[in-house]
Structure formats: structure tokens, C-alpha cells
């Protein structure tokens, strides 16, 4: 409450002092947000309403689309509104909500990608046990666990971030980003948030190693498939997932391994857009382009 009293609001990064450029930013973000929501909603509708896609792989894909839709909806609309009405303000509680929801969605994203890697591993390396291992009860329990742990993860990050005393309320980013908020601390390192960050890095590396090992075993199993057609079919279900994982990890590393600067930078802004907006845009495109079942259902929806 002491933080709230001294910091009733934060000032987000403005894209330009010119009203025309602010409106250009609004238009660009509006087009990008519209494309992201449309693409992910199409995936959600395709999986939800077509019984041929009522399988674990597509069930996980629908949840991934929900997470991508949620993560962009947390940060983009506020930035668009600020540009439209020419302001930089965001209230303290709105900033808290942004951090909590964004971290929760991003945490659930990497967790779900790890689960999807395990799903492909079981389907290709142990196909006879797939129906028993990845039954609907198990899939539902996995999704509930992913969402619950991600919400707890977001809560820990939020508590760690906002337990500090802020010496400034100027955030050099277009949304409330944790590294930029921690720079505003009066007391230097916050042990709670440092502990959460260490745990996050450890968990992230663990998920990445698990995905890497899973696909190493998958590709080893694929090489033993005698039929060229079956080999291509197995690879077609794995390549989109690998592309999505690679894009998320590469853009995230580019954004977070770079130390935040003390002054606004177009490079920092560009890297943030890369990791926060491009994966949600390209994930549904990658999956729909490489998957004939999804393309067929989407074509039916388009004709309808």
C-alpha cells in the first residue's frame, strides 16, 4: 500500500511526440492485433466445432491459441488507447494486472509447448500406448495443471516485482515489463524477485532441454520408419511445433539476455515487439500451413 500511495500510476513509453505518428502507431498495432485475434480465433473455432479435430494434439493447440490471444490482449489494447487519446498513463493496479496476466500467459505457453513435445514423443515413439497415456482424462488434468501452475507463477512474479519501493514511475516500455519495472527500484536487488527469476530460468532451461531430448528421440524413431509416406506424415506433425518453440525461445532470449538500457531505445522496443507479438501471430499460421487437417477445416469455415 505504501508503494501504491507514492506511485498511483506509471508513465509508459510514448512512441512519438507527434500526434500523426501516434495515430500511425495506433493503426499499425490495430492491424497487427486484428490479424492475431483473427488467426487464433480461427484455430479455436476449427478445433472446437469440428469433431475430426477432437484429438489431444489439437486440444493442446487450441489452448495454445487461447494463451496467445490472452497475452496480446493484455498489452496491445492499452497501448492503442494511449496512442489514440495521446496519453502515457497506466494506473498502479492496471500495471499489476498486466504483469500478472502477461507472465501467467507466457509461463503457460512454454509449459504447454513442453506438453506438446511429450505428446508427439508418445505418438511417434510409443504409438501402441498413445491412447492409454494421452486419454482425455489425462489431457484435461494436464491442461488444468498448466493453467494453475502458470497462475501461481504469475502471482509470484507479481508479488516479487511490486514488493519494491519505486523511485520513479517512468517505464521505458509500451507496457509494464518486469525488467523495466525493476530498474525503478530504490533498494537495488529484490531478493524475492531474484529468487523467482532464478527459478524461472531453471524451469525454462529444464523445459527447453526436455523438448530437445524429446525431439532427438523422435527423429531417431522417424529414421527407423520404413515407409516414406509415414515418415513424412510424422515429420509434418513435428516441424510446426519445432518452428514455434524456436521462434519463442529465440525472440525471448534476444529480448531478455540484453540488459535494459536507461533510455528508451528503438532496438529494445523492436526486440520487445518480436517476442511479445510475433509468436502469437505466426503460431496459428505455422500450424495451419503445415497441417492438412486444419487447412481442410479452415477452408470449410471460410466457405461457411
CA proximity to 207, closest of 172, 171, 249, 164: 249
Helices 191-223 and 92-125 pack at an angle, to 10 degrees, of 20
C-alpha cell at 242: 519445432
The pLDDT score that the predictor gives to residue 1 is 39
Distance CA 76, CA 175 (A): 8
Predicted TM-score (pTM) of the model is 0.87
Q: Decide: residue 123, CB within 10 A, 0-12 exposed, 13-18 middle, 19+ buried.
A: buried
State the pLDDT at residue 16.
67
Q: What is the pLDDT of residue 200?
A: 79
Domain boundaries, the chain: 8-303
- Amino acid 5: pLDDT: 43
How many residues appear in the chain? 304
Return per-residue pLDDT of the chain as tens, 304 residues: 344 445 788 988 777 677 787 888 889 999 999 999 998 998 998 888 888 888 898 899 999 999 999 999 999 999 899 888 888 889 999 999 999 999 999 889 889 999 999 998 998 888 888 889 899 999 999 999 999 999 999 998 898 888 888 888 888 888 998 888 888 888 766 666 777 777 777 888 888 899 889 888 988 888 887 777 777 777 777 777 788 888 777 776 766 666 555 555 666 777 777 778 888 888 888 877 667 777 777 777 666 5
CA–CA dist 151, 47 (Å, integer): 24
* The pLDDT of residue 4: 42
The cell for 56 is 489431444
C-alpha 18/C-alpha 107 separation (Å) is 36
Query: Which residue in the block uniquely carries the three cell numbers 505457453?
Result: 109
Instruction: List helix spans (H) across 86-135.
Output: 92-125, 130-133
The conformation of residue 128, written as its DSSP 8-state character, comes to G
CATH 1.20.1070.10, domain 8-303, yes or no: yes
Give the integer Cα–Cα distance in Å for 100 and 8. Answer: 18
Amino acid at each position: 500500500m505504501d508503494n501504491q500511495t507514492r506511485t498511483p500510476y506509471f508513465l509508459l513509453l510514448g512512441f512519438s511526440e507527434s500526434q500523426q505518428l501516434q495515430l500511425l502507431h495506433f493503426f499499425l498495432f490495430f492491424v497487427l492485433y486484428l490479424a492475431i485475434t483473427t488467426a487464433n480465433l480461427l484455430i479455436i473455432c476449427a478445433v472446437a466445432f469440428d469433431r475430426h479435430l477432437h484429438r489431444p494434439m489439437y486440444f493442446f493447440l487450441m489452448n495454445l491459441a487461447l494463451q496467445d490471444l490472452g497475452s496480446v490482449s493484455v498489452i496491445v489494447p492499452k497501448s492503442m488507447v494511449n496512442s489514440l487519446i495521446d496519453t502515457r498513463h497506466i494506473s498502479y493496479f492496471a500495471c499489476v494486472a498486466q504483469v500478472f496476466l502477461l507472465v501467467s500467459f507466457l509461463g503457460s505457453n512454454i509449459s504447454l509447448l513442453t506438453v506438446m513435445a511429450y505428446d508427439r514423443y508418445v505418438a511417434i515413439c510409443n504409438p501402441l500406448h498413445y491412447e492409454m497415456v494421452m486419454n482425455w482424462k489425462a489431457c484435461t488434468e494436464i491442461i488444468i495443471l498448466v493453467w494453475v501452475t502458470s497462475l501461481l507463477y504469475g502471482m509470484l512474479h507479481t508479488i516479487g516485482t511490486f514488493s519494491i519501493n519505486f523511485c520513479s514511475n517512468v517505464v521505458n516500455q509500451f507496457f509494464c515489463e518486469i525488467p523495466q519495472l525493476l530498474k525503478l527500484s530504490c533498494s537495488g536487488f529484490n531478493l524475492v524477485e531474484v529468487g523467482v527469476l532464478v527459478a524461472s530460468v531453471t524451469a525454462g532451461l529444464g523445459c527447453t532441454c526436455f523438448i530437445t531430448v524429446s525431439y532427438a528421440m523422435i527423429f531417431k524413431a522417424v529414421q527407423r520408419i520404413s515407409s516414406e509416406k509415414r515418415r513424412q506424415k510424422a515429420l509434418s506433425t513435428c516441424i510446426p511445433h519445432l518452428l514455434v518453440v524456436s521462434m519463442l525461445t529465440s525472440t525471448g532470449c534476444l529480448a531478455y539476455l540484453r540488459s535494459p538500457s536507461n533510455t528508451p531505445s528503438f532496438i529494445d522496443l523492436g526486440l520487445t515487439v518480436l517476442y511479445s507479438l510475433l509468436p502469437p501471430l505466426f503460431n496459428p499460421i505455422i500450424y495451419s500451413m503445415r497441417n492438412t487437417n486444419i487447412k481442410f477445416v479452415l477452408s470449410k469455415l471460410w466457405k461457411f
